Amino acid sequence: MSEAKQPSTTKSLVEAGTETARISQLAAGLMMRLARRWELPDIDPLNLKRPLLAATWNTVRHPQRILAAQWDLTRRYLGLMKYLGLRTVGRPVEPVAVPAKGDRRFRSDAWDERLIFDLLRQTYLLTADWMLDNVARMQEVSAEDRMRIRFYTRQFADALSPSNFILTNPEVLKTTREEKGVNLLRGMRMLLEDLHNGDGQLLISMTDKNAFEVGGNIATTEGSVVFENEMMQLIQYAPRTKTAYTRPLLIVPPWINKFYILDLKPENSFIRYAVDRGYTVFVISWVNPDEKLRYKRFEDYMHEGILTALDAIEQATNQRQVNTIGYCIGGTLLAATLAWMKAHGDDRIPSATFFTTQVDFSEAGELRVFIDDKQLKNLEKKMKVQGYLDGESMAMTFNMLRANDLIWTFVVNNYLLGRKPPHFDLLYWNSDFTRLPESMHTYYLRKMYLENRLVEPGGIEMDGTPIDLTTVDLPIYIQSSRDDHIAPYRSVYKATQLFSGDTTFMLAGSGHIAGVINPPAANKYGYWTNNELPVDVEEWIDGAEGHQGSWWPHWDQWLKQHSGRRIQARTPGDGGLDVIEPAPGRYVKG
């Protein structure tokens, strides 16, 4: 028996020695980096002191609420004790607390097989629910303070999940026994590598970055860069049909991320889908700005982005009018641009589609937790040092909105189980960070998120022109996603009450990304439509008709009505613009 185990034991010892040596080297280098960049932190960078004091004072003034909360928790625990007694004697019984649908933390069967782990899971779930319920019942605390307290209470509860610790996660314990602890050494090494790659900031590896290459196995739809300036490259995609619609289509993606979310793989590429439908597709590929572009304004993204792209498309196709799509902040820019163009009598855009776009930020969701005057001043101070906001900071903010899926799942997989993250194109894109120039980002967060000025007629000006979204009277198609945590559908829907033209609102299943990237072949999620546009979005939902599968064909049917007749398909370089380089171009790789 001992001889049979010898090779395995020797292999484990060798691997343990190798990992220990690599850990020592990484730790030494990391300590030197941290020593060079250490500085005294702000004692309240999240501006939590005021809302927490308000909540504490509210609780102290009403001791009966403390007693009610204590009884509520006791009642829940009594239910758990009853469950324990019945299960101990072998009687069938329903659990007191179960994970929410889609909660992957407790998906392993090991949580059910041993009573102790089942109890740990249920105790945690009912306690976490109790904590969040108490926050929701807070009185005499503003809705914004309550949202901030709830957000960080959830972060605290998520961090305390028994799935996140070695001794309370049965899957980790089993793996540790089988691998004689080498999984934990691998995990420590991977943790130090992530800290090293983030220069002391933890950048959790979500996928194997070596498995993907932009332009190699993602972002592969055939096309060419036909124009560029310091702000963007303009890509024209090669036709895949003999004929194409007269009016070209310009896609304005967000500059918070890179455009190839719309062109990950052929089977889920929205860009390829549009080209296959006979549209001459152009896409703006924004530059990843550095300190040289720190003074670029929101207006500069309009002038050097959208308006310059329209000029270039006319040169390339000899077509003056161009249909448009704006995605997320790209859509916010497009909406403001449409109002600016209306004020200047510019009718080059005959229709606009918006993906997950907010223009009224009064119900902008949990991102508002990070945006108040104090936090913005801290952010502005940070950006003044380097001239931009680094992409890692933005990524952590978005990941915190879905901490269980985008933080803790990988902490357990990488650092406790010692496993490499999976090959996943979407997560590669999510980790391909972009920077945001100081002037633009400060303006956007203050004027849009904090002050909500875009929704007011004349609330903002762009190069001296008052912006009034109510003057936008062209056909509009608005896509939103039911589970979107970045641009909540309640916020997106508000645009239907602003634009003056014929507006179509469509609600897709899933979230901010999967709700958009939902190809027909996948036959997933579904969507809802309603020809009426009442003020209340819940009333819209009540009267909506559900549909199976992807919403892309529904959009295609809408857009073709605004795209003109079919002509011979256009090839990049055949018009008035020469080919600069093959798609996806240099900028997206920067």
Q: Which of 230, 288, 284, 583 is nearest to 432 (CA)?
A: 288
Tokens encoding 333 = 């820019």
Backbone angles phi, psi at 43, to 5 degrees: -75, -15
Which helix (H) or strand (E) segment holds residue 226: the answer is strand 223-228
Q: Which 3-state string (H, E, C) describes 230-268?
A: CCEEEEEECCCCCEEECCCEEEECCCCCCHHHHHCCHHH
Residues present in the chain in total: 590
Q: Which amino acid type is present at position 451?
A: E
Is 106 in contact with 121 (CB distance < 8 Å)?
Answer: yes
b vs e for 511-527, b when ≥16 Cβ sit within 10 Å of the residue's Cβ? bbbbbbbbbeeeeebbb
Contacts of 564 (CB under 8 A, 6+ apart): 245, 246, 247
Distance between CA 431 and CA 421 in Å, rounded? 13
DSSP notation for 547-579: E-S-SHHHHHHHHHTTS--EEEPP-TTSSSS--
Distance between CA 568 and CA 572 in Å, rounded? 13
Q: Is 323 a catalytic residue?
A: no
Q: Pairing state of beta strands 352-355 and 476-481?
A: parallel
Does residue 584 have a cis peptide bond before it, meaning omega lies within 30 degrees of 0? yes
- List, as own/partner pairs, every contact residues 124-127 make where C-beta atoms lie below 8 angstroms and the sequence separation is at least 24, other chains included: 124/160, 124/161, 124/162, 125/97, 125/98, 125/99, 126/76, 126/77, 126/80, 126/96, 126/97, 127/73, 127/76, 127/157
Please list the residues that pair with 436 across neighbouring strands: 389
Tokens encoding 412 = 């357990």
Residue tagged active-site, from 141, 328, 389, 462: 328
Sign of CA dihedral 223, 227, 232, 234: negative
| Active-site annotation, residues | 328
